[in-house]
Amino acid sequence: MGMSISSSAFAHNGSIPKLYTCEGKDISPPLTWSGVPAGARSLVMIVDDPDAPDPAAPRMTWVHWVLYNLPANSTGLPEALPSRPANALDGLNDWQRTGYRGPCPPVGRHRYFHKLYALDVVLPDLKEPNKKTLEQAMQGHIVAETQLVGTYQKAR
């Protein structure tokens, strides 16, 4: 059995509750994972939306959360992450800020990919990297990956 990620707040391919969006409290959902390979030294979490700005005509992937150097022995993140785990580092989302920003799609139902990567290294401090910079640093070090997809559409 490989690495897996889930949330008690929504099922894979299910709707993300309003609480975790710009229409709610805009807090991070609870996440749990298992099956991290024994050789992993750190974990990376990236949450992004490949359907921006319109799922009927996507033009970009919008990044909602970048967190790296999570402890390899960790088993999840609590709801409304109060502070990042010890030794974990923040990257920049597409609002040019650190931390979680929830779904806030301008039109249509978007998909939000909660991607978890296990790395065979602890990355150096990349000074709040964006997703692209972090992915470049991860190249050749990913030993396992998994994802949880949630969807959201604003109330009309």
Domain spans in the chain, listed from the N-terminal domain onward? 4-140
Cβ atoms of residues 143 and 1 within 8 Å:
no
**Tell me, what DSSP letter sits at residue 29?**
P
Query: Nearest 5°: CA angle at 42, between 124 and 148?
Result: 120
Residue 83: the pLDDT is 74
Q: How far apart are CA 66 and CA 79, in angstroms?
A: 16
- CATH T-level assignment (fold) for domain 4-140: Phosphatidylethanolamine-binding Protein (3.90.280)
Residue 86: the pLDDT is 82
Evaluated on CA atoms 7, 82, 22, 132, the torsion sign reads negative
Residue 112: the pLDDT is 98
What is the chain's pLDDT, residue by residue, as a tens digit (156 residues)? Answer: 699 999 999 999 999 999 999 999 999 999 999 999 999 999 999 999 999 999 999 999 999 999 999 999 999 999 998 778 888 999 999 999 999 999 999 999 999 999 999 999 999 999 999 999 999 999 999 999 999 999 999 987
**Tell me, what DSSP letter sits at residue 22?**
T
Q: How far apart are CA 113 and CA 53, in angstroms?
A: 15
Residue 82: the pLDDT is 75
**Which tokens hold the place of 85?**
């785990």
Residue 97's Cβ-side half-sphere holds a number of Cα atoms within 13 Å equal to 6
